[in-house]
Chain A
Amino acid sequence: MADAVASHHARHPALAHHFDDLGQQREAASLGMWVFLVTEVLFFGGLFLAYLVYRTWYPATFIEVSQHLDIFWGTTNTAVLITSSLTMALAVYAAETGDRRSLVFFLLATLTLGCVFLGIKALEYSHKFHEHLVPGAAFQWDGDHAERAALFMSLYFIMTGLHALHMIIGVGLMSVMTVLAWRGGFSPEYHVPVEVSGLYWHFVDIVWIFLFPLLYLISRH
């Protein structure tokens, strides 16, 4: 469909028909991602509220169960994610400067770190399974208030599970970005997909930065 802009100069191949220029398209995409992240905050917010209620009600049990989480792997994973945020930021910088080789490298690095995180998380889950700390029929707890301990572990699995699901989506996103970057799909004028994927990736990291102390570090000062 003919429009005012197209008649003046050639349209960028990545410019969708309903936008006037790449600037408008970029602003729309990044605002869209920010709004989506606000939704995500509220989504996790419901879980944080539930955590807050039960931790206030049952502080002693929460501290006790928390010590059954593996602080070594938890800390390692935190470091892995923070590093992945760094590589993500460097990937966005490489996209802005049009450095295709660095872009592919940093996207791959981010993707790999994400997979490392998920691997460690799976390891932790399997430990909890063998220790009978997965809520349900097989749940075993020697201390007092087994049902309260089960509440903590329910929250642990739901919160970290939803976070892990977001990580899996993030890894998928990174794979797509890597392929597109490899094919030379991005340039200094057009790299908004890398930018908004970066926003998403940082958000998922930040969620973990809240989850880690709330779940692993309750009793450590």
Chain B
Amino acid sequence: MKDYLNATYGLKSWLLTRDHKRIALLYLASVTLFFFVGGAFAVMVRLELATPPADLMQPETYNKMFTMHGVAMVFFFLIPAIPAVLGNWLIPVMIGARDLAFPKLNLASWYIFMLGGLFTLWAMVTGGVDTGWTFYTPYSSAFSNTHVVTAALGIFIAGFASILTGLNFIVTIHRMRAPGMTWFRLPLFVWSHYATSLIMVLGTPVIAITILLVAAERAFGLGLFDPARGGDPVLFQHLFWFYSHPAVYIMVLPAMGVVSELVAAFSRKPVFGYAFVAFASLAIAVIGFLVWGHHMFVSSQSVYAAMIFSVLSFLVAVPSAVKVFNWTATLYRGSISYDTPMLYAFGFIGLFTIGGLTGLFLATLGIDVHVTDTYFIVAHFHYIMFGGTIMGYLGGLHYWWPKMTGRLYPEGWAKLGALTIFLGFNLTFFPQFVLGYLGMPRRYAAYPEEFQVLNVMSSAGATILGAGYLIPMIYFIWSLRYGRIAGPNPWGAVGLEWTTPSPPPTDNFEKTPIVTQPAYAYHLLERA
């Protein structure tokens, strides 16, 4: 039978495809590449930090290493990973549509993303950038002697890929739902992507114009962010964080959507408090736009502004907590199975909770001043962006891999991989909380001797983590050829994506499905 993978052959049929499922796979290959680029820089960082002095590389080189690690991971892996791969592949299938609303635009997004990526890679191979992924002015605009303009243009261009993906999702979710697929029958994965898309569409243009101004400032010698010429570097910080705080939710909301699907499927129960979880996504998107000032508690912001930002930052934790409570309530008295995707879901819930709670420490003005620019911050955001996003991404990839490829991955190896990644992650980043609290600043190549034990633990953890990633990488590729045939519904899960063959035909369904049930109707399934 013809499916979307063997409907047509040849490189051209992939590079000119309009099929959202094929475009998702193009993204899968690209973000994997950027993940390993970012990972390589992380290896350099952890190697340098294995010993106290700056001995492996010059401090200038070290600055480039952590900058390029951040740029590659944030803009070219974490932000696109779940939406552009899993969202792209799944949203039309989950709502019973034949494709996204704008298939050509979807393909154009991928090309724009790749163009931005090429600019950034070019900046990396021709000498690199050293401003930190935050591009703070006036260092980035007036002082840095590295390839800031090229890297900034790369991020600017990639931003439009993100905007167009968000736009495509919003229109698709509004206009392409199958008959009977009402808003409150949508899988929570779709709700969380809807909220994510709002942030992409509203936030990304602001970072785009900001980063363009930095590039223009360098290229034409303007003074917009240069205090020596009447400009305001703090204005840059406001504009930057107006996007970059919500960007954390671009990374983590889709992962939350994945976890909702996994928790329901592997405890065979409807998600507890469906509407609360759906609205929590929207609440996070909205409140998330009002908390950016918590990155600027020590940046000459007024005390009153800081207090308001502090309170709002506490507030944004509420909908996140609602989700965690609802997932645990879903587990309660469920018939839980511990397949690999569920292990990742548990990983997400645990790590995200630690990341979230330490986020509350940072929303507290006094503690934030104490740990600003220390490893405490580094540990916190890795727990959220990594412990959250990557756990969700890998969990989702395992769960839908049989659907996407028609093949099962080897369960034993997958469990080993999940366990290795979880342990490696915690060994890498938990010591960093302690380091930060003890006062080790981030972004330095050297540190005092008394911090060495914890740093060696962290570097050792990073080694385990790196090995952990290779395991799924290898068996996923292996499974394409040797994996067992999956069949349409290997998990016995509900949801439209499981009603069509694996892999599905190009138009997703043989005929347009008609939806008569709420999402996660596992209770109806058991009764039947």
Contacts and interface: CB of A to CB of B under 8 A. Distances in A.
Given A18-B97, A39-B202, A135-B220, A46 B209 contact: yes
Given A35-B171, A135-B223, 18 more contacts: A1-B505, A4-B512, A18-B507, A31-B170, A32-B102, A32-B171, A35-B201, A36-B167, A39-B167, A42-B205, A46-B205, A50-B239, A54-B232, A136-B221, A147-B223, A151-B224, A154-B224, A158-B216
Contact of B201 (A17, A39, A58, A158): A39
Interface string A31-48: 110011011101111110
Contacts of B210: 46
Given A4-B512, A46-B210, A35 B170 contact: yes
B222 A150 contact: yes
A46 B98 contact: no
B223 A150 contact: yes
Give the interface centre of A28, A45, A47 by most chain B CB atoms within 10 Å: A28
B503 to A, nearest CB: 16
Contacts of B167: 32, 35-36, 39
B230 interface: yes
A202 interface: no
B329 interface: no
B171 A136 contact: no
A118 B232 CA distance: 32
B229 A150 contact: yes
11 contacts: A4-B511, A17-B99, A18-B100, A28-B102, A31-B174, A39-B202, A46-B205, A135-B222, A136-B220, A147-B223, A147-B229
Contact of B512 (A3, A137, A145, A148): A3
Interface in B44-103: 97-103
Given A28-B171, A39-B167, A49-B239, A18 B98 contact: yes
Contacts of B223: 135, 147, 150-151, 154
Interface string A148-187: 1011001100100000000000000000000000000000
Q: Which DSSP category, helix, strand, loop or mixed, fits chain A's interface? A: helix
A10 interface: no
A136 to B, nearest CB: 5
A151 B163 contact: no
A47 B213 CA distance: 9
Name the interface size band of chain B: 35 or more
Contacts of B232: 53-54, 57
A25 to B, nearest CB: 9
A35 B103 CA distance: 16
A64 interface: no
Contacts, number: 115
Nearest to B164: A36
Interface in B195-217: 201-206, 208-210, 213, 216
A147 B98 contact: no
B486 interface: no
A43 B201 contact: no
B175 A151 contact: no
A148 B230 CA distance: 6
A27 to B, nearest CB: 6
A17 B98 contact: yes
A6 B507 CA distance: 14
Per CB-CB distance, the 3 closest pairs between chain A and chain B, nearest first, are A43-B205, A46-B209, A18-B99
B176 interface: yes
B220 to A, nearest CB: 6
A155 B163 CA distance: 25
Contacts of A148: 230
Nearest to B235: A53
Nearest to A20: B512
A90 B5 CA distance: 47
